[in-house]
Structure 1
Amino acid sequence: MSRSAVWHPFTQHAVEPALPSVALTEGAYLQTDDGRRILDAISSWWVVTHGHRHPAIVEAIRSTAETLDQIIFAGLTHAPAEELASALIGLAPKGLDWVFYSDSGSTSVEVALKMALGYFRNIGSPRARIVVVESSYHGDTIGTMSVGARSVFNAAYEPLLFDVDTIPFPAKDREQETLDAFEAFSRDRQAAAVIVEPLVLGAGGMRMYPPRILAELKRIAEASGTLFIADEVMTGWTSKGLTGGAIPLAATLATDVIFRAYYSADRSRTFFHSSSYTANPIACAAALANIAVWRDEPVIERVTTLSRLQAEGVRRFAGDPRFADVRVTGTIAAFELAVANSGYLAEVGPKLRAFFLKRDLLVRPLGNVIYLLPPYCVNASELGRLHDAIDEAADLVRQAP
């Protein structure tokens, strides 16, 4: 077989071994060409919420494709997009009244940033500063890299990135420093918007903070007239899990106040943003099917059970000297290994990934941070297998010279 011409994301091809080829997906598993069944412990990068190829979502894609494919969404509309927007507004917190579609987490954040800056321009206010949280990650486009932590991910593109105001991560017992810093930026710099990853910073190392801090950040934003952008990359599904992981789709939800700043007979106040595949009908149908799964199946019970199992599994590592920290939020568990070299480029990361893959487990550590974010269909036995593998991996790391 000739070499592949595919350039894979977040992959250093000079040191990676041959990549397994997946021939079939089903439930929590990926089956390779040679028949291996790999347990998907990270929901294929956090998107496959219910498991692979959920029948209801697959059927929605198939049936919609018989009548609709991509339709330009400037000047036209269609039923799947209209129905999905109504469903999302019905599920969202009160006050979010408008839905703008895009096709990925990065683009949905770009939309939110552009909405915020355009809002202040349209109402005649000079606000243009964005406040961000230390160690955050919001995507790989220019705008989203600008509001993410400066790191190896974006060092090459520094000349293109715009300046932001950074507040410290609300670490345990230091949360007030974060709140005070944000209050100062909101007051003294008249921030246009603050962008946060609610409760869990994902690619920044699965760092977690309590809901009360999120609520307080929102309160400060509202008091100062600063717009609040919640990038639900880890704890919501307006991008990552909107279609249950079956097909790309994202949505940015906005208040009526934001929409009205653009609503005008003056066409120069239009929100000038789109992508070629905005509101793809097949993707919207998949998202509607996903919402129906949440409504019609015992998904909340599955999430509750999986959260309990994660918490119980993490408890066995509490106080374990092999780990600098273990933590859990909902169905997400993180295990931070106590090693000399930490961070995304820590040498232990690729070694751990290979260790897990050899055992038919798909786990992609963030450097020295092993995390589990499995689909809700994972059972107690499978989760126990993952926790046992982490125990074994920690022993091997400690024994390594």
Structure 2
Amino acid sequence: MTTTSHPPASRSGPGLQKPRVLFLLREYPQIGQTYIKNEIEALEQDYEIGIVTREAPGIPYDNHRPHSFAGTIEELVAAVQAFRPDLLHTHHLTELHLIGEVSRITGVPFTVRTHSCDTIALRRKGFAGRIRQMLRRETPPERSPWLRDALQAMESDLCLGVLGFPCARPWLIHAGANASKLIDCFPVVRFDHFHDRSANGDAVMNIGLVTEEKAMPDFLRLARKVPDRTFNLYAMGYRTEWLKARDAQLGAGVNMVDPVQPEDMPAEYKKHRWLVYTGDFARPTVGWPMAIAEAQAAGVGICMPNLRRDLIQYVGEGAGVLYDSIDELPAIVSAPVPEEMRERGFEQARKSDIERHKHLLTDLWDDALCGKLPDYRMIAEAAAAAGRMPAAGLATPA
């Protein structure tokens, strides 16, 4: 799907009513999911945004927006009735079927923004991966029931579009997605929050959820080989204690940093000369992490494992280092970031700036708003008549 950039005029002036968008989310406000936070903050000037979440986060971040909880589809539909949105929106491909059901019942059109974790599973496996899948008797993700239901919801006329990374397009199409509903989009980063051309410190950092595919012990090994540099690991997840134990065994001396509030992260990046992201080459499931663009915007040099061909599109030609082994990096992280690489990093990070590409989402919304908006009294009556839930649970706003 091709779009023309025409950012909406501000709807916050006197006498103007903002269109209403209800976010239906699985988990909010999780400190490791600033994707959603960034998007909401970039849109709330022009749209009246409501937020409904099904789950409480493990570690919430501060300064989040008001939200309510709804655990069942009945409760979600009731939330739609209460907020009276013009549009629905969610994050993650795995939520597509659910929002599609709510949309079908209520008649409110919807959009979806996918992430790395939910689309990269659809990447065609190599020979070793296919053998491992067969030995474990795993159902390929592209044949899973949840994806079948998601793709069916995507076919609805109420689905305005599904945003995803450019690399995810062929994986989704191979899985059966309607190509005309897919919109290529870089990650959601508030570029201006991180953009800082001043000098950086000389520490080395890594950041992310501690999982096997992130191969964070590689970062510990690198730290041990470069003892004259400070190494900071901004680790999250229940396996962090295990990683601390590994660090003690190796004598790597890596500082394990507790979760940091999103507003404080720009200053954290500026302490560092290099960001070394790690990943398991045997399971190349690391996606397009926001930390790469955030660090580039802050003037930090990037080292990213050369897991797949698509990563050069994200890191940028000459804007970072794609390494084939952690053993290549001691000399690199001991030296300054080449100035040309740093400059290219600033420009590459701009591709993820939500202020530059939010029109890819709002164009879909604005086009839908030109049509007829839902009649909530008819929705309530139709849903009750269909037996989806008791009529009492669908009290129509006065």
Q: Normalising TM by the smaller chain, what interval?
A: under 0.3
**TM-score, with normalisation over the residues of structure 1?**
0.26
**TM-score, with normalisation over the residues of structure 2?**
0.26
Higher relative contact order (CA 8 A, sep 6+): 1
